[in-house]
Amino acid sequence: MQTQIPEIHAALSALGEILEADEHHVAVVIVGGTALILQGFVSRATQDVDVIALGSENLPNETQVLKEPEPLPGALTRGIARVARDFNLPVDWMNTTIGLQWKTGLPPGLGTRVHWQRLGGLWLGLADRYDLIFLKLYAAADSQGPSSVHYQDLLALNPTRKELQAASTWVRSQDPSSGFGQILDEVLEHIQSNG
């Protein structure tokens, strides 16, 4: 069983304090459970913080151009390790695994809808609800179906039919195989009958 992070806001605040104390400023965009928790869509613990992109350091005065999260800045990597030690978290409590999404594409316009918060030296960009619907639909179709946390998160986002149509078009572009398409159709049908 993976470690849960019940006090994600405290861990992120500590990371921001560490960065600020070291006179560093880093901007990251997060998705997944942490983005849902911090925006009040769900109330649960999470296993990690999913970094999908990096932003420039000149927030909030500059239009953000997002870039792939790899490699993470050294100051951020050191801060992540320190918070892991101090909070007894896994070393990868903040990770860029979702950054692989850049290979097939992000939801269109994701960068224009990010909601920024400042936590000391950490600029935390939260993906918008609209983009979370896209990513959670993809994850729900790629996991165990209605019992998965991704499916439950998607229901919590309360997507409209129009949002689901837009999201499903994007999700199909990520994996055009017929097998995946059938699973996606089942997830969509289940969501529409339970939403």
Residues of the chain short of pLDDT 50, as ranges, are 1
Residues with Cβ within 8 Å of 47's Cβ and at least 6 positions away in sequence, in order, are 2, 3, 4, 5, 33
> What is the reported pLDDT for 57?
66
* Spatial distance between the Cα atoms of 176 and 25, rounded to a whole number of angstroms: 39
> What is the reported pLDDT for 48?
94
> What is the reported pLDDT for 143?
84
Give 44's DSSP letter. S
> What is the reported pLDDT for 45?
85
> What is the reported pLDDT for 6?
66
> What is the reported pLDDT for 137?
96
What tokens appear for 170 in the block?
């994007």
> What is the reported pLDDT for 1?
39
> What is the reported pLDDT for 29?
97
Please tell me the chain's helix, strand, coil percentages from 3-state DSSP, rounded to the nearest 5. 50, 15, 35
What tokens appear for 65 in the block?
């151009």
The pTM assigned to this predicted structure is 0.92
